[in-house]
């Protein structure tokens, strides 16, 4: 009887630990950053932190849609953090990059779920600059 009580208590403790230790489903987030193919993103991330965002801003659409570059997939650079897009996100990123006409500065709003460094993408939209108040 005592061992059954210990087993029950251990199960209850483990259940509570699992529930409150961050193992819950990650929440959906909206991130604003620069779309960059993974190969170039890896190179950009080796830059000093203060230069990462400006290098991501200068990354070109042509590179993003180049077959050799786009085959690796995409990342989203937000400040000095790189999120790697999931397969669906890679498809959405390529479609988005092919649909725009700007040369660089591919600033987007991405909605999805973050698990570690992987961003499971729901949507990618052009980031609309905030209007200036006069």
Residue range 64-87, pLDDT digits in tens: 999 999 999 999 999 999 999 999
**Given pLDDT bands bounded at 50, 70 and 90, which one contains residue 4?**
very low
Q: Encoding tokens for residue 96?
A: 């988005």
pLDDT, position 84? 97
More confident position, 12 or 112: 112
Per-residue model confidence as pLDDT tens digits over 27-71: 899 999 999 999 999 999 999 999 999 999 999 999 999 999 999
Residue 81, Cβ density class (10 Å: 0-12 exposed, 13-18 middle, ≥19 buried):
middle
Structural contact between residues 59 and 106, judged by C-beta atoms closer than 8 angstroms: yes
Residue 33 CA to residue 67 CA, distance in Å, equals: 22
Residue 101 CA to residue 6 CA, distance in Å, equals: 66
Mean pLDDT over all residues of the chain? 85
């Amino acid at each position: 009887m005592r061992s059954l009580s210990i087993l029950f208590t251990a199960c209850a403790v483990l259940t509570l630990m699992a529930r409150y230790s961050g193992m819950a489903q990650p929440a959906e987030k909206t991130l604003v950053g620069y779309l960059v193919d993974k190969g170039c993103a890896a190179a950009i991330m080796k830059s000093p932190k203060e230069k990462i965002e400006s290098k991501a801003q200068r990354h070109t659409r042509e590179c993003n849609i180049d077959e050799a570059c786009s085959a690796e997939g995409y990342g989203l650079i937000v400040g000095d953090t790189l999120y790697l897009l999931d397969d669906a996100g890679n498809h959405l990123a390529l479609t988005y990059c092919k649909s725009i006409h700007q040369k660089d500065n591919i600033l987007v709003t991405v909605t999805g779920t973050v698990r570690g460094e992987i961003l499971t993408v729901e949507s990618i939209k052009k980031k609309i600059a905030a209007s200036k108040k006069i």
